[in-house]
Structure 1
């Protein structure tokens, strides 16, 4: 119902290059360029100007992007209103999220949806290396469970609706022979670990940023020497004495690895915030609404059990 070339322009404004836009939309770069030339000709204004080997949006293009964002939000609302006339919730719901969110929240929520709504097909993806907000914008995902990052869209971004899902405490992961290991039942304060060597653990996009911020709140700067993304690799580094790390409560620890998870206590205890993001207006569509409700219910159950 809305000119699809407006979507191409929106994605270009987010991705920055014709090649990246083509990848996000599963088009060829020549198709993207052709669509934008056609849109420019139809509107009678220049939308792109050369900028070295790239292109740059004109002021008119940025104004159009703002109108397009509002149009797409209204279209999602219209789809939600029309979906209310359907007899049952059916179709496809695509959920993307970080690995620990899939483990702790998304997979059990999807299982709940499968029981309650057999006609709703849920697809789950971790999509490592992808910007999950861009997946929403490109229509490749319907719900994104993300950890807010400083360079991510603000809560007031008119393109998205963002709802809190879960606050996940951080623990310490230490070798089995570490002095902190004997205090796993009572926990330790983060300030006590100021002299430790630290491993930058987890996703660089969010978990790596949490470590310096948490340590600064505890009054010290962490001394980091190693880094890894996979939690099994991280546990191996810790077990062999290369450092300790912050470990999200939902992250798995291999049972045969000589490491100990030690809860943090005191104030402040570092936490990760998970939010569920959707295209603004789509939160009223029955599949998306039921998906968000299932995520919140699952998160509430986990929080009630202490994660």
Structure 2
């Protein structure tokens, strides 16, 4: 018999590389991680780890087991979904996590809609950065993650995740009133090359989006202030301390004397908001209801990407993903 909880510890070790990092990611002690993997090895009568100096290395048996892990987890999710479908009504706790702007623009109206269509559903919303959302999903601590795929996010070929594209969110330039770039007709991003930029570099989804957009426009942004929360960023822009990229779904604070300027030219800076679930779990009535509500909210906010709510999954084994980039959303 395979205990999927122990298998998840092995899968986390393959992703994070060390027992210490795995313990931190799973909120366990290093000794508990080692004990779980030793017990899994005894259950299967195989060797899973070999010491290599101060570190450990996965054995061929462990890598073989991990190649089957995605199928085992997906089948378990399908089984849970079929069992839940036996109930006459959709009920239970639906856990959603996501970046702040996606929660405000999509999760809030989606949950409001669910309260009317499925009164037996109790939503639980958690604000987390994209990287943490992926980890919560793998740990079984959330059902739907609203993320911003970026340079370090798991690839679409990673079979641990099923991706549901929701929204193509254009980015605008935020400048103070009276600024030389405050033109209603819009400006190319390259014209802001000499401006100071306001963005937090660490633990921030916005930073890699900014650097990629500026690189495409032919320059590297000069970061003058590192601030993350949108209201604070807007206040600094109003004070003339720099400019920033502002997602279209994020409202401009009415009390700030700032101007949202459309960006012209191609490629136009944009980000994509994606609903991420565990493969097979989208058939669960609770998750399916949540995804349908998010689709409706996305249409109201600017439209669902693609003709339908088709799930996008990897056909090839992507293996453990790198930690996803993080930020305020």
Per the TM alignment, residue 20 of structure 1 is displaced from its structure 2 partner at its CA by 4.0
Q: 1:244 to 1:52 in 2, by over 3 A?
A: farther
Q: Quick check: 1:80 aligned with 2:92?
A: no
What is the distance in 2 between the residues matched to 1:7 and 1:26? 13
Q: 1:251 to 1:55 in 2, by over 3 A?
A: farther
What is the distance in 2 between the residues matched to 1:167 and 1:97? 16
Instruction: Give the conservation status (yes or no) of the 8 Å contact 1:173–1:262.
Output: yes
Cα deviations by residue, 1:193-217 (Å, 9 ceiling, x for unpaired):
2332222358754311112221232
What is the distance in 2 between the residues matched to 1:130 and 1:253? 26
What is the distance in 2 between the residues matched to 1:17 and 1:110? 38
Q: Give 3-state SS (helix, strand or coil) of 1:132's partner.
A: helix
What is the distance in 2 between the residues matched to 1:231 and 1:282? 33
Q: 1:53 to 1:128 in 2, by over 3 A?
A: farther
Instruction: Give the conservation status (yes or no) of the 8 Å contact 1:11–1:138.
Output: no
User: Which residue of structure 2 lines up, in the alignment, with residue 289 of structure 1?
Assistant: 288
Residues 1-307 of structure 1 aligned to structure 2 (within 5 Å): 3=3, 4-128=5-129, 131-181=132-182, 183-184=183-184, 186-200=185-199, 204-303=203-302
Instruction: Quote the RMSD (CA, aligned, Å).
Output: 2.2
Q: Give 3-state SS (helix, strand or coil) of 1:277's partner.
A: strand
What is the distance in 2 between the residues matched to 1:62 and 1:258? 57
Cα deviations by residue, 1:255-276 (Å, 9 ceiling, x for unpaired):
2222222122333211010111
What is the distance in 1 between the residues matched to 2:280 and 2:228? 34
What is the distance in 1 between the residues matched to 2:269 and 2:63? 38
Q: Give 3-state SS (helix, strand or coil) of 2:168's partner.
A: strand
- TM-score normalised by the chain length of structure 1: 0.90
- TM-score normalised by the chain length of structure 2: 0.84
Instruction: Give the conservation status (yes or no) of the 8 Å contact 2:189–2:264.
Output: yes
Instruction: Give the conservation status (yes or no) of the 8 Å contact 2:170–2:270.
Output: yes
Runs (4+) of structure 1 exceeding 6 A deviation are none
Q: Give 3-state SS (helix, strand or coil) of 1:229's partner.
A: coil
Per the TM alignment, residue 102 of structure 1 is displaced from its structure 2 partner at its CA by 0.5
Per the TM alignment, residue 77 of structure 1 is displaced from its structure 2 partner at its CA by 1.3
Q: 1:176 to 1:204 in 2, by over 3 A?
A: farther
Q: Unmatched 5+ residue regions in structure 1?
A: none
Per the TM alignment, residue 290 of structure 1 is displaced from its structure 2 partner at its CA by 1.0
Per the TM alignment, residue 115 of structure 1 is displaced from its structure 2 partner at its CA by 1.5
Q: Give 3-state SS (helix, strand or coil) of 1:261's partner.
A: strand
Range with greater deviation from structure 2 (229-238 or 25-34): 25-34
Q: 1:149 to 1:59 in 2, by over 3 A?
A: farther
What is the distance in 2 between the residues matched to 1:277 and 1:2? 26
Q: Unmatched 5+ residue regions in structure 2?
A: 304-329
